[in-house]
Structure 1
């Protein structure tokens, strides 16, 4: 069974943050995301593409929009690499300081287990990582954004608080630069997981159907790209089906791979094991998984499924709105989806009788004209696409009795609501968290309605009507409202945090009560509504969770040699990540085992316990190395394989560990363990190293020659054993040869798990050359870590050894 340190289920605002933090700290991380990746330019736009943009694997649909229908409300969430960030409207607002409470019957309030002060440092970290900016309304060409001015005017007339909230959008090509439309964006230091150029916002209003320009700083461009840079394995089209504790500690995760290139049929269930499991599949996904796994997770809190809410979401329309000169129709399609926010005060703010607080934000429409068949009049284009989309929407709700509201929608279209001459308004706030999620017939069911939050919705609708009056527009409810249904895009709760298991499923740091190492890092952990858009709060909670999880790992001694930064030694990675040879297999050549015992059941080195005589544990040293290059399958010569037309990319990321520095320096072959992954399309993508060895500047028969040898055993995507073997030739020459010699690796991929000395008898499947890029080498220098009683001196001894060996090769001749 594949075994890694951390498995993250889902890649939204909780999962992406946790994946990055764990990978940055040197953990082996696998992210399982059910949806596909969406590089800029691949989001659906045509009616045919939109028609298949829904998530329903049973119907062969693997699209981005996952629509849930329950009695009393409907919900839309996302499926894809980046989770909800692909379709959210970019707003990153902090939860108001006084709103960290849950309303109880009788006007009472219950404090959340976490406060604004607890989250502020993590809010700071997330905002910095994602990159935020307010809409630059005060400068051309952004000053011509009619809906933003309409929001300003309405707030001023009604005496309401107006602001331009922080948006996760790049308006400028780099931090501190002047904003501009459609400019090329500078790449961050960690690169981009898609490898596709991005450009600044074009003001097209397509934010919540996927940004094809890459101007939206969605999680795939930020946290997930950074996580991949640090070695996280991002696996798309992998849907988790079940979880359970693993005998001896940790967890097992069952999943299926939705390979869209394979014809429909039952997918085989695969399993991966981990020490830590982070559930971040969204409110519905995470709660559903826990409910299904209740029997396997004894002692789960009775609070599972409770405290569900829709964060007070409400959508309405201001019809036939005019611009601020009251002459031309207001064009709500210009700009990002949201530019402005109006805050309604809360009684907790000191506003007597105000009730729970709320926000109203402007909405917008994408440019439908680009989607349509040429030749239609604009009004006909809009009506045609809206009717088409609505028909698709209704098809997903055909089994729900009260959702077919086509007549109401048709009337609304006739009134011009769904055109660029109207202004959608998006409301949200502190509604009642009194809903419950449960299993019914093996499916997720929700018991929640808008009835208990009528005061909240009435206040929003009253304020929105007043805004319509100010703007000379006509007010219209969402047609679904007439059936007393709401649509929420911010479902929260279901596995709420609490101070103890009688109050919540997890603690204030997201760890599930009674199940160490199992974490909840998404909206399911919210004990009530956030109020404003919850994305930033979910991400900040995940950042706080990660900090505590890494601290706990060190304090509990789960990984004695894993310090909380990048490049750490991983004693818990194997089997599957190369921490040591499996039980019953031969040890590494040259004594890589260093005389240490290997656990018979786990295949990983036993935790440091000193020698039988009671001597102190040895000092270990580790560092991380990333190399990339090209190989050609069917070629046996590395130099030819690097240049052949049929070549393909290859890469690895290895953590090299010498368990005993003194033994490592003393033995002639200078052998260490190598764990991590090898990535090659010809071998099935990214594959964990099962066993690996590294020889550092080993003798090569001549005084002026050394070899740096690599031998990595892994299995390809079909489970067939493979060996990557390679060497760096460190030959005598001028000092200018040091960099090319020590950064160039000549590699071969062999059939089978080939031992040292067996290469000549093995079949060579591929050959090529790999290199260390200068940025990767600079990063490698920061990854050296030591652990044990003699850390500083051990690092100095290693440095002197390395420099001395290079001097022997590249130094001047004695003559």
Structure 2
């Protein structure tokens, strides 16, 4: 591997492009790898032949713009090209609603949705992205743009329904420069960083072609903004480069293998290494990379592939709208695709509100789509064709001298009422993020359906039906809804952020748990639906990620993030503070012993006694062998928590056999709430054979009950297993298993032989430890006088 850079960015969507610009601007050497090609103004497909080849399938040497995925519960359309989804999105840049950053919100069927970041965390980054993309609402108040009937109709419907209406910010140039006088087809004044395409751009001509690529360059898409700025700061943007391999390097950093697609169909393998790797390949692209490379990344959290959502996307139709004068002209084939939005509040927004919130937006389309729709209006079209043919036949029979076909040809064409009075409606909002993404036979597979989100979709359809009724139109579901399938253009989740590795694949700054220097910067990191159009939130998230990546420091969520000018070793994950220092002060006394316990344990149980019963019945068990190390005995004896270090191994067949315990904490004889009670606590961090982090917690309860219970109390450990590395202040969530362990008598006798002391007076250290241990036991189990009984 001859080529090495500071950062490799995979993908040029909102996460990848923002990251490329921020890191290049900071002076880092950046290579951006994009699987698709560049699309300068005028290069987007328009003819049938061009459209036929405008799909992405490199196995068939197709390298077009649209990548269409089909899964059991939905279909999805994403893009391949320099600029990612911004090439085909509808330009809306809305901030996520403040109250919709939910925290531990229960979900149907179990689990919860939680956002470990807030609106306040993202607001400064929203500001930064808006300064770059300069969004502005559709200029309905300007005379040249005021003739937009569907925008006015949506406002009328929102008012009648008592709902919020707005013209959302659009990343579209309506004026030659931000804040200038709007006009159609004006030459656009470029920013100081220039434009990577080197082509003249022109302001919006209201052609409705936003979703198939803007040939005027009127969209402030990422190639015209962030990527042009990144190139200005010497980022190396390589198109037609499809990443396939990710491998962590033993000395830190990552190796990235990719295919370089040649115009003649030849593919060449390339490799590059980097100190930092940022994944911004879009939800499907990033998930495909992580799942495909999981054998090379064995410590990836079990959260990989979870919390997938379609952001509540739903497409329906408002047909044949009418007003008091007859047909209502909506003119959906004019203007940018989206010009308006109606907001329906969520139960989290305040008292008296029920249901999950959503947005309804109008959806324009290109003029040629109107021709296709009218031609597809089969009954009307057949009647006109038969009428035209009959007239021609009669003229031929009676040998009419009339040779004028003008009127007959005009009658052959439809009056256009169907398309002029109809408009698609787009819904999006807070569906249930319970999808699971896996690899199956080499293909990405998503298990998500509308079933658990049925209540949400019922609410969206009810709002759309209300809009249709207010505007005198007919409501129609998308034909796919007959099988409860949807089309989403906003796939999110699968590599969710979380407060710890049991909850998320990456921390709330995008760094992947267990893999320092590996970041997720796109929509796959969203832990649930954004609600409104997610592009701005993804971009702001990536901007925040870059602040952390460039600034370094300690993340309170589990990653040690070093500034980029420092070397990052592969092992620099969250390191809990050492419980008794690193070896103690020079010359201090230390002591250690080895403890072995075994018992019955069952996955799927949450209570230790029940886990013991089930484990005993099914012959399932768990055992461990731990070395308890007190590295500063004086500190240990003075500390009421009597904290020591625990390392060793744990064996459980259901978890894959013997697993190393590289870190653990042990508390000996901690005072309880009552004077005659003591407790021993265990907290062990380990990873299963697949690299998924786990935590075993356990406690021994010492209390003098009736009968001889000293032996059973000190040798019985009640344990629970949790996903993720759970720290002392963390909420552990639901256990994944539970059971009860015991010290056998022969193991206890063996344990006594393992006591080792260090320091200037080893025998004295053992004596001091023994006095403390036996003294605490005497306080619990020794005979009590009358004053102790009161």
Deviation at 1:326, TM superposition (A): 4.3
Q: Check whether the contact 2:307–2:435 (CA below 8 A) recurs between aligned residues.
A: yes
Deviation at 1:379, TM superposition (A): 3.4
Deviation at 1:259, TM superposition (A): 1.2
Deviation at 1:269, TM superposition (A): 1.9
1:6-25 counterparts in 2 under 5 A?
A: 6-25=7-26
Q: Check whether the contact 1:148–1:339 (CA below 8 A) recurs between aligned residues.
A: yes
Matched residue, 1:56: 57
Q: Take 1:7 and 1:164, find their aligned partners in 2: how far apart are those partners?
A: 37
What are the Cα deviations for residues 409-434 of structure 1, in whole angstroms up to 9, with x where unaligned?
A: xxxxx998983431110000000000
Task: Find the residue that maps to 1:189 and give its secondary structure.
Answer: coil
Residue 119, structure 1, aligned to residue 119, structure 2:
no
What are the Cα deviations for residues 12-42 of structure 1, in whole angstroms up to 9, with x where unaligned?
A: 0000000000000000000000000000111
Deviation at 1:325, TM superposition (A): 5.5
Task: Find the residue that maps to 2:229 and give its secondary structure.
Answer: helix
Q: Check whether the contact 2:11–2:32 (CA below 8 A) recurs between aligned residues.
A: yes
**CA distance 1:416–1:297, shift in 2 (3 Å):** farther
Task: Find the residue that maps to 1:67 and give its secondary structure.
Answer: strand
Task: Find the residue that maps to 1:307 and give its secondary structure.
Answer: strand
Deviation at 1:111, TM superposition (A): 3.8
Matched residue, 2:309: 309
1:700-779 counterparts in 2 under 5 A?
A: none
Residue 228, structure 1, aligned to residue 223, structure 2:
no
Deviation at 1:60, TM superposition (A): 1.5
Task: Find the residue that maps to 1:452 and give its secondary structure.
Answer: coil
Q: Take 1:465 and 1:307, find their aligned partners in 2: how far apart are those partners?
A: 29
Q: Check whether the contact 1:368–1:381 (CA below 8 A) recurs between aligned residues.
A: no
Pick from 227, 243, 258 the counterpart of residue 246 of structure 2.
243
Deviation at 1:369, TM superposition (A): 7.6
Q: Take 2:358 and 2:18, find their aligned partners in 1: how far apart are those partners?
A: 27
Q: Check whether the contact 1:319–1:415 (CA below 8 A) recurs between aligned residues.
A: no
Matched residue, 1:352: 352
Matched residue, 2:290: 290
Q: Take 1:417 and 1:79, find their aligned partners in 2: how far apart are those partners?
A: 36
**CA distance 1:108–1:57, shift in 2 (3 Å):** closer
**CA distance 1:417–1:431, shift in 2 (3 Å):** farther
Q: Check whether the contact 1:239–1:255 (CA below 8 A) recurs between aligned residues.
A: yes
Q: Check whether the contact 1:164–1:339 (CA below 8 A) recurs between aligned residues.
A: yes
Residue 76, structure 1, aligned to residue 71, structure 2:
no
What are the Cα deviations for residues 307-334 of structure 1, in whole angstroms up to 9, with x where unaligned?
A: 0000000000011124785445321111
**CA distance 1:417–1:296, shift in 2 (3 Å):** farther
Task: Find the residue that maps to 2:85 and give its secondary structure.
Answer: helix
Deviation at 1:142, TM superposition (A): 1.1
More deviation, 15-24/109-118? 109-118
Q: Check whether the contact 2:116–2:498 (CA below 8 A) recurs between aligned residues.
A: yes
1:529-608 counterparts in 2 under 5 A?
A: 529-552=529-552, 560=565
Deviation at 1:163, TM superposition (A): 0.5
**CA distance 1:220–1:322, shift in 2 (3 Å):** farther
Q: Take 1:354 and 1:212, find their aligned partners in 2: how far apart are those partners?
A: 43
Q: Take 2:218 and 2:472, find their aligned partners in 1: how far apart are those partners?
A: 33
Q: Check whether the contact 1:146–1:323 (CA below 8 A) recurs between aligned residues.
A: no
Residue 66, structure 1, aligned to residue 67, structure 2:
yes
Task: Find the residue that maps to 1:451 and give its secondary structure.
Answer: coil
Deviation at 1:72, TM superposition (A): 1.3
Task: Find the residue that maps to 2:32 and give its secondary structure.
Answer: strand
What are the Cα deviations for residues 500-545 of structure 1, in whole angstroms up to 9, with x where unaligned?
A: 1010000000000111100000000000000000000000000000
What are the Cα deviations for residues 375-408 of structure 1, in whole angstroms up to 9, with x where unaligned?
A: xx99339989x9xxxxxxxxxxxxxxxxxxxxxx
**CA distance 1:490–1:227, shift in 2 (3 Å):** same
- What is the root-mean-square deviation of aligned Cα atoms in Å? 2.6
What is the TM-score with the length of structure 2 in the denominator? 0.64
Matched residue, 2:48: 47
Matched residue, 1:782: none
Deviation at 1:48, TM superposition (A): 1.2
Matched residue, 1:435: 435
Deviation at 1:233, TM superposition (A): 0.4
Matched residue, 1:462: 462
Matched residue, 1:34: 35
Task: Find the residue that maps to 2:295 and give its secondary structure.
Answer: coil
Q: Take 1:207 and 1:120, find their aligned partners in 2: how far apart are those partners?
A: 27
Q: Take 2:135 and 2:323, find their aligned partners in 1: how far apart are those partners?
A: 28
Q: Take 1:351 and 1:36, find their aligned partners in 2: how far apart are those partners?
A: 50
Task: Find the residue that maps to 1:308 and give its secondary structure.
Answer: strand
Q: Check whether the contact 1:319–1:416 (CA below 8 A) recurs between aligned residues.
A: no
Matched residue, 1:187: 190
1:477-516 counterparts in 2 under 5 A?
A: 477-516=477-516
Task: Find the residue that maps to 2:493 and give its secondary structure.
Answer: coil
Matched residue, 1:258: 261
Q: Take 2:376 and 2:40, find their aligned partners in 1: how far apart are those partners?
A: 27
Pick from 129, 134, 138 the counterpart of residue 137 of structure 2.
134
**CA distance 1:321–1:517, shift in 2 (3 Å):** same
Task: Find the residue that maps to 2:8 and give its secondary structure.
Answer: strand
Q: How many residues align?
A: 528
Deviation at 1:165, TM superposition (A): 0.6
Q: Take 2:377 and 2:7, find their aligned partners in 1: how far apart are those partners?
A: 47
1:98-117 counterparts in 2 under 5 A?
A: 98-101=99-102, 103-105=105-107, 110-117=113-120
Matched residue, 2:446: 446
Q: Take 1:57 and 1:116, find their aligned partners in 2: how far apart are those partners?
A: 40
Task: Find the residue that maps to 2:214 and give its secondary structure.
Answer: coil
Q: Check whether the contact 2:551–2:563 (CA below 8 A) recurs between aligned residues.
A: no
**CA distance 1:353–1:134, shift in 2 (3 Å):** closer
Q: Check whether the contact 1:168–1:216 (CA below 8 A) recurs between aligned residues.
A: yes
Q: Which runs of 5+ in 2 are unaligned?
A: 382-413, 555-559, 569-790
Q: Take 2:427 and 2:435, find their aligned partners in 1: how far apart are those partners?
A: 19
Residue 380, structure 1, aligned to residue 375, structure 2:
yes
Residue 148, structure 1, aligned to residue 157, structure 2:
no
What are the Cα deviations for residues 576-609 of structure 1, in whole angstroms up to 9, with x where unaligned?
A: xxxxxxxxxxxxxxxxxxxxxxxxxxxxxxxxxx
**CA distance 1:436–1:104, shift in 2 (3 Å):** same
Task: Find the residue that maps to 2:334 and give its secondary structure.
Answer: coil
Q: Check whether the contact 1:553–1:559 (CA below 8 A) recurs between aligned residues.
A: no
Q: Take 1:295 and 1:417, find their aligned partners in 2: how far apart are those partners?
A: 58
Q: Take 1:173 and 1:188, find their aligned partners in 2: how far apart are those partners?
A: 11
Q: Take 1:369 and 1:439, find their aligned partners in 2: how far apart are those partners?
A: 36
Q: Check whether the contact 2:10–2:33 (CA below 8 A) recurs between aligned residues.
A: yes
Task: Find the residue that maps to 1:335 and give its secondary structure.
Answer: coil
Task: Find the residue that maps to 1:14 and give its secondary structure.
Answer: helix
Residue 177, structure 1, aligned to residue 168, structure 2:
no
Q: Check whether the contact 2:107–2:113 (CA below 8 A) recurs between aligned residues.
A: no
Q: Take 2:564 and 2:290, find their aligned partners in 1: how far apart are those partners?
A: 27
What are the Cα deviations for residues 294-316 of structure 1, in whole angstroms up to 9, with x where unaligned?
A: 11112110000000000000000
Residue 277, structure 1, aligned to residue 277, structure 2:
yes
Matched residue, 2:640: none
Q: Take 1:123 and 1:204, find their aligned partners in 2: how far apart are those partners?
A: 29
Q: Take 2:522 and 2:203, find their aligned partners in 1: how far apart are those partners?
A: 29
Deviation at 1:288, TM superposition (A): 1.0
Matched residue, 1:338: 338
Q: Check whether the contact 2:552–2:564 (CA below 8 A) recurs between aligned residues.
A: no
Task: Find the residue that maps to 2:90 and give its secondary structure.
Answer: coil
**CA distance 1:195–1:182, shift in 2 (3 Å):** same
Deviation at 1:250, TM superposition (A): 0.3
Q: Take 2:143 and 2:429, find their aligned partners in 1: how far apart are those partners?
A: 33
Q: Check whether the contact 1:19–1:232 (CA below 8 A) recurs between aligned residues.
A: yes
What are the Cα deviations for residues 710-769 of structure 1, in whole angstroms up to 9, with x where unaligned?
A: xxxxxxxxxxxxxxxxxxxxxxxxxxxxxxxxxxxxxxxxxxxxxxxxxxxxxxxxxxxx
Q: Take 1:427 and 1:378, find their aligned partners in 2: how far apart are those partners?
A: 21
What are the Cα deviations for residues 548-586 of structure 1, in whole angstroms up to 9, with x where unaligned?
A: 0001189976655x9xxxxxxxx99xxxxxxxxxxxxxx
